[in-house]
Amino acid sequence: MNILFKIAVLQVLWFCFACEKKITSYSPEVPPIQVISGVIVCDSAAKCYITKPNDLNTIKVSALENAKVFLYNANNSVIDTLHYKGSGLYKGKIILSSPNIFYKIISYANGYNDASCEFKLPSKPDFTINDLIYNYFYNWDPTYSIRNLPKNLSHITIQDTPNEDFYQLELYDIDSVENLPGKYDYKYNFINLTGSDNPAIKQEGEIALDLKYFTPIFFNDKLFNGVSYELDFYSGPNSNSNSGVLSSSKRLLLVVLKHISKEYYLYLKTVNKHLLAINYSGEGFAYIYNLYPYNQVYSNIDGGTGILGSVNSSVIKKIVVK
Amino acid sequence: MFKVNLIISFLTIFLGSNKVVAQLSGYINDQFTNEPLIGATIFCLNNNTAVVSNNYGFYTVKLNQDTIQHFIIYYSLYRKIDTLLLIKNNLSLNIELSPTNILQEIEVKANKEEIYTGEQLTLNEIKKMPVILGETDIIKSYQLMPGIKQGAEGFSNLLIRGGTSDQVQYILDDMPLYYVNHMGGFLSVFNSDAVSKVELFKNHSPAKYGGRLSGYFDVRMKEGNAQKWSGTISVGLLATRLNFNGPVFKNKSTLQLSFRRLNLDLITTPIIKALDFKTQPSYYFYDGMLKYTHKLNERNKISFSFFNTNDKIKILSKFSDSFTDLNTKFNLDIGWGNTAAAIRLMQNPRPKIFLTHVITGSSYNYIIKTRSIVSENSTETYNATNQFRLGLKNIIFKSNLDYNINNRLKYTAGLQYEFISSGLGDQSQTVKTANENSLRNFNGGKLVSNQLSAYMEAGYLPLSWLSLAAGFNNLLFISEGYTKNFFQPRVYAKADINPRQQISVSYCQNVQSLHLLTNNGAGMPSDVWVSANKFAPPQTSRQLNLSFTNFFSKKKYFFQTDVYYKTSQNLIRYKDGYGLFTPKNNWLETIETEGKGLSYGWENLLKKQTGKLTGFIAYTLSKTTNQFKNLNNGKPFYFNYDRRHELNVFVNYELNKKISFNANFNFATGNALTLPKAIYNVPIATEPNTQSNNSYVQDVNLINTNYVFYYDGINTARTSNFHRLDVAARFTKQKKHGTRVLSVGIYNVYNHHNPFAYYYSYNYGAQQFDLKSISVFQLIPFFSYEYSF
């Protein structure tokens, strides 16, 4: 609603008076910092991407190829060296499978500040599902979905006691039961996790925008507090799909719940808001310094920027849709 | 010499032949309208005493009995009275002054009994200043004074000495107002036709004021012409103003009515409708003031004040989808406004005593309504509405006592109880389709607080060249189980170095128990007022001010320089990434608390007050920083509207009684803002793969990455410098039944693009982000036509 207010004020103003000018005098110096990006998955070797930031006129991935990257344990001893694999990727060999143990990655690169990040792997998610029911709407447009309500409404109930853990929930639609592992044809553009009548919780679980292939929702389990929630997911045909015929084939829905680190959760929250603003930049609403707050994407890299998240996941349920 | 025009009415009260002093008291009014003159001076040459009429025109002075006293009574743009008076006993004397167009040059050698006055611009000075599209604006005129910033271009806010827009309390006839802007901030809600006096306290806060950190903007409405009905009609490019005032019962009760409405939508809306645009915006505002005053008897008066403003934005959108035969209509209505009322009893039971008792209620509301209607083949298939409302209400009971013990000692005391209820946002949604008819309500909750304050202040003139004032305002604050007492001392001292030069020093502490959740302090109607509590305690400030004043060339010129140092505690600010669009029911999680502010500066004002050429030059050098534990890595950062240098020059030239010209030049260095230093890539997830243990793992890569901005701190960049020149001319003509004033002018003469906002836009051709600025007010010619009768 407040976005609409902002649109309204600006429309009225621009209709009457506004004038736009490009600023060419702002050319800040790019800081000599490393960008470390990656998600450490439990039961996998440590890996991350190391790049450098660019000036505001350069949109490309600039890999740092000669960095020296080491993995340390809690005693500050080197336990692995991450080697360069191309395209900015550095990968180690040691499989990390112990949750709740601290590790540290440090990267040294000539001409750049040393960057480091401490992390620990989360434990496997411990979730109870009482029932499995779903709502499934074919078209992403809520107006259409409301018109096309399925006859048998149902919902997923998730109940848990609250603590300080963070989760990410994803849904995958596999085109054929027989075709596992496989690709999926339908990406869920809009997943809505609602709880009773509290729109704040709805907003917490709501995806702000389509992150291309990545359509998760992420939340803090303070949301739950012993309350059941309804999980609705909306899907629309993507450009790769050749069919809008859904109901005639057997489909497999996978509900995957991940236990993610707090740092990764904070990153997901802030990057969504940040990209939302940039996505609007074409219409001129981003970073209006009097009306829209700037939003720094969360980073847990000391001496640099980026995100090194950690994840532990397991499948909750497979649903065969007939 | 000026013609003496004095009407005396008196009552003689015998107090006993042993008394050697007598009290002279009464009201000072306009001769033709009977409007009380606030701040008029009565200078007694015999004992070198000067007293000033209060906010209701009342004065009182102690004199030697059985003596002939020589008085000069004067007020800005009124003929002075120079007279002798025999004082035998206590005397109640009402004085009437007749208006003139010429500023009086009065040499007053005494210290005024009014020890401290705020910044005052007369209504005459305000009317001469060209502002937005020819519309006089009281707040915009004060923005030209040193130490006061407007924020962004066009905004009607008073950002005083590093404070945000909520740190100034706007008071209209004892009624507190909460959002005083129209058009998103381009014009204030005060109609100058209905205003009698304006006073801004920023250097020092008298003890009777409390509740804000940076200042108090006290506006008094006129009471109205007690002799005959009169008024003003004004039509300009922006708005139409009407003002009518007159006696209900002659010399007994008066009524003052004023109304103002925007004109622009009357022109633009029909055009947009006729052209049948797919999106049709419209905007209008109105404001109205009413004051009824009734004189119960010579010593008692009662008045009722009422104030209402309303702003409304409407957008109607319609679009059709030819493939699906669906038609969609979308209505958006956004409105905000203040409503306030006050009943006041003024009593003068004894010549030395003046009492006021006030009950006032004020309410601010903001509402958004949307309606979506989808039709297929002319049949409505979907109808949804959404309404969001928030606001604030408060009720105040207060009593004030002014006691003039003698000409050198004055005592003020008062009690106030205030109840505040702020709503965090209620929402209701309805959806109607073939299969659904639902209604959902969401109550955002309310925050309630009770405040009891008591204040006392003594003003003392121990020596003819020395004035002292000391007092306090004590606040007991209770909200949601949180109770705290705040003691706010106020101290002021002024010394005359010689008849033309004065120095003063003041120290004051202030407490603010209402927080405004505002985006960057700019002030928007959707900002939410929330009461302090134990998690976000009341904000406090301390300020030390040193001032030097110099009159020269027979008081034609006035120069004042101030140095101030101000610290603030318990400030709040939105967390990174939070702002207007955050649900307010969990507002505590969206803000950073325990912020500190530091502001210091040097303010200068040089003013020419008399003659054909008048005007002023105001220059401010200042610096303001804020510091929060969890923002900017705990390091101090510049306040959003930290402008290092600010220069305002205003000149008015009276060619003759009918024609005058004026010009206004503003210059300020840039505001602080947060701009990115670089771009970097962030990871994005790939499709899932199964593993042998049948769990699903998702990888991340940078092949289809997203790019985000990198910032190295808050407010490390600066906007471009702000400067603008406005010119105007006023043509006054005396008509048979009234006076006509035609104003023409140009706003932003050399069309400088002062930025209102900045944003980044992605340039697909060059594949880069372009930084752009939006400027709102370019070169704009304006006119206004005003007729007074």
Q: Are B104 and B76 in contact (CB under 8 A)?
A: yes
> Looking at this protein, which amino acid is placed at residue B758?
Y
Confidence of residue A215 (pLDDT cuts 50, 70, 90): very low
Structure tokens at B25: 């008291």
The candidate with the shortest Cα–Cα distance to B365, out of B179, B211, B566, B534, is B179
Nearest to B687 among A20, A183, A288 (CB): A183
Where chain B has pLDDT below 50, the residues are 1-19, 108-111, 113, 581, 583-584, 687-688, 690-695
A-B contacts (CB, under 8 Å): 292
The per-type count for chain A, helices as H runs and strands as E runs, is 4, 18
- CA gap A295, B519 in Å, rounded: 13
Say what the pLDDT of residue B201 is: 92
- CB-nearest to A306 from B381, B577, B680 is B680
Q: Which of A104, A79, A254 is nearest to A181 (CA)?
A: A254
Inform me whether the C-beta atom of residue A2 falls under 8 Å from chain B C-beta atoms: yes
**Tokens at B123, concatenated:** 């209504």
Cβ pair B234, B258 in contact under 8 A: no
Degrees to nearest 5, angle at CA A137 with A135 and A143: 120
Mind telling me how many Å the CA of B710 is from chain A's nearest CA? 7
Residues ≥6 apart with Cβ < 8 Å to B686: A213, B698, B699, B700, B701
- Please judge whether B677 and A31 are an interchain contact, meaning their C-beta atoms are less than 8 angstroms apart: yes
Set of chain B residues whose Cβ sits within 8 Å of the Cβ of A170: 688, 698
Distance from the Cα of B629 to chain A's closest Cα (Å) equals 16
Rg of chain B over all Cα atoms, to the nearest angstrom: 29
**Which tens digits make up the pLDDT trace of A104-114?**
999 999 999 99
Q: How far, rounded to the nearest angstrom, does the alpha carbon of residue B564 sit from its chain's CA centroid?
A: 21
Contacts of B134 (CB under 8 A, 6+ apart): B236, B237, B238, B728, B743, B744, B745, B782, B783, B784
Which residue of B315, B576, B684 is in closest CB contact with A211?
A: B684
Alpha carbon B17 to chain centroid, angstroms: 51
Q: Do B774 and A288 touch (CB under 8 A)?
A: yes
The answer to whether B267 contacts chain A (CB < 8 Å) is no
> Residue B34: CB partners within 8 Å, gap ≥ 6?
B96, B223, B225, B226, B227, B251, B254
Q: Are B342 and B173 in contact, with CB atoms under 8 Å apart? A: yes
Q: Which two tokens stand for residue A169?
A: 């929930």
> Does the beta-carbon distance from A37 to B775 stay under 8 Å?
no
Q: Evaluate whether B281 touches B246 at the Cβ level (below 8 Å).
A: no
Contact B382 A305 (CB under 8 A): no
Of residues A28, A213, A306, nearest to B685 (C-beta): A213
A199 contact B CB<8A: yes
How far is Cα B403 from Cα B410, in angstroms, rounded to an integer?
6
- State the amino acid at position A287 in one-letter form: Y
Tokens for A75?
């005693």
Please tell me the predicted confidence (pLDDT) of residue A152: 29
Look at residue A222 and give its three-state secondary structure.
helix
CA distance B399 to B411: 14
Closest to A173 measured CA to CA, from A83, A71, A246:
A246
Q: Which residue has the tokens 């202030």?
A: B510
- Selecting from B381, B681, B695 the residue whose C-beta is nearest the C-beta of A61 gives B681
Spatial neighbors of B498 by CB under 8 A, at least 6 apart, are: none
Alpha-carbon distance of B314 to B329, in angstroms, equals 13
Chain B residue nearest residue A58, CA to CA: B768
Which residues are CB-contacts of B693 (< 8 A; sequence separation ≥ 6)?
none
Reply yes or no on whether the pLDDT at A144 is more than 70. no
Give yes or no for B701 touching A (CB within 8 A): yes
Q: What integer pLDDT is reported at residue B332 of this predicted model?
A: 85
Please check whether residue B725 is in contact with residue B768, taking contact to mean a CB–CB distance below 8 angstroms: no
Are B76 and B9 contacting, i.e. CB atoms less than 8 angstroms apart?
no
Please list the alpha-helical segments (H only) found in B307-443: none
**Selection from B416, B424, B422, B421 nearest residue B452 by Cα:** B416
Q: What is the pLDDT of residue B702?
A: 57
Task: State the pLDDT at residue B374.
Answer: 83
Q: List CB contacts of A203: < 8 A, sequence separation 6 or more.
A: B583
Separation of alpha carbons B431 and B38, rounded Å: 57
Count of other CB atoms within 10 angstroms of residue A262: 16
| Spatial CA neighbour of B657 closest among B715, B733, B745 | B733
- Dist. CA A146–CA B322, nearest whole Å: 21
Q: Are B526 and B567 in contact (CB under 8 A)?
A: no
- In chain B, which residue's Cα lies nearest the Cα of A13? B776
Give the Cα-Cα-Cα angle A275, A277, A281 (nearest 5 degrees). Answer: 110
Q: Which residues of A touch B681 (CB under 8 A)?
A: 35, 37, 51, 61
This prediction's pTM = 0.81
The count of other CB atoms within 10 Å of the CB of residue A183 is 12
B778: distance to nearest CA of chain A, Å?
7
Instruction: Let me know: does B399 contact B355? Beta carbons within 8 Å.
Output: yes
Check if the interface score ipTM surpasses 0.85.
no
HSE, CB side, 13 Å, CA atoms: give it for residue A300: 21
- Residue-wise pLDDT for A153-184, tens only, equals 223 333 333 345 556 666 555 544 443 333 33
Burial class (CB in 10 A: 0-12, 13-18, 19+), B594: middle
Tell me which amino acid residue B395 is.
I
Q: Decide if pLDDT at A245 tops 50.
A: no
Residue B396: beta bridge partners? Answer: B360, B418
Is A293 within 8 Å of B152 when comparing Cβ atoms?
no
- The alpha carbon of residue B168 is apart from the nearest alpha carbon of chain A, in Å, by 19
If one compares A106 and A220, the residue with the highest pLDDT of the two is A106
Q: What is the pLDDT, as a whole number, of residue A269?
A: 72
Tell how strand B230-236 and strand B239-249 pair up.
antiparallel
B712: helix, strand or coil: coil
Backbone angles phi, psi at B329, to 5 degrees: -120, 140
* Residue numbers of A between 93 and 122 with CB closer than 8 Å to B: none
- pLDDT the model gives residue B324: 65
Q: How many CB atoms lie within 10 A of CB B278?
A: 9
Provide the token pair at A218: 């992420």
**Beta pairing class for B90-92 and B21-30:** parallel
Return the beta strands (E) in B464-500 as ranges.
Answer: 466-479, 482-498
Put simply, whether B184 touches A (Cβ < 8 Å) is yes
Interchain pair A170, B315: CB under 8 A: no
Q: For B139-278, list the strands marked E by DSSP.
A: 148-149, 159-160, 168-172, 175-177, 181-182, 187-188, 195-201, 215-221, 230-236, 239-249, 253-262
Q: Is B710's CB within 8 Å of A53's CB?
A: yes
Contacts of A24 (CB under 8 A, 6+ apart): none
Please answer yes or no on whether A19 and B681 come within 8 Å at the CB atom. no
Name the residue of chain A whose CA is nearest to B375's CA: A143
pLDDT digit string (tens) for B625-634? 999 998 888 9
> Under an 8 A CB cutoff, do A55 and B679 touch?
yes
Q: Is B151 in contact with B522 (CB distance < 8 Å)?
A: yes
Contact A11, B184 (CB under 8 A): no
Distance CA A103, CA A163 (A): 23
Assess contact for B661 and B743: CB atoms under 8 A.
Answer: no
In single-letter form, the type of residue at position A156 comes to I
Which of A:13-52 have CB within 8 Å of B? 13, 15-23, 26, 28-31, 33, 35, 37-39, 41, 44, 49, 51-52
d(CA B52, CA B116): 11
Distance CA A49, CA A82 (A): 10
List the single residue in B with minimal CA-CA distance to A271: B708
Between β-strands A305-321 and B41-44, what pairing exists: parallel, antiparallel or unpaired? unpaired
Q: Which of B442, B673, B678 sits opposite A289 (nearest CB)?
A: B673
Distance separating alpha carbons of residues B374 and B320, to the nearest angstrom = 10
* Tokens coding B632: 């900017």
Question: Which of B388, B586, B759 is closest, CB to CB, to A286?
Answer: B759
Instruction: Inform me whether the pLDDT recorded for A190 exceeds 70.
Output: no
> What is the rounded distance in angstroms from the CA atom of residue A254 to the CA atom of residue A182?
12
Token representation of residue B166:
């909520």
At residue A314, the pLDDT reads 62
- Nearest residue of chain A to residue B775 (CA atoms): A19
Q: Given CB atoms, is A133 within the 8 Å cutoff of chain B?
A: no
Q: Which of B282, B579, B773 sits opposite A293 (nearest CB)?
A: B579
Report the C-alpha gap between B601 and B93 in whole angstroms.
Answer: 45
Token pair in block for residue A14: 């621009």
Which residues face B215 on adjacent strands?
Answer: B168
C-alpha atoms less than 13 angstroms from C-alpha of B438 in its C-beta half-sphere: 12
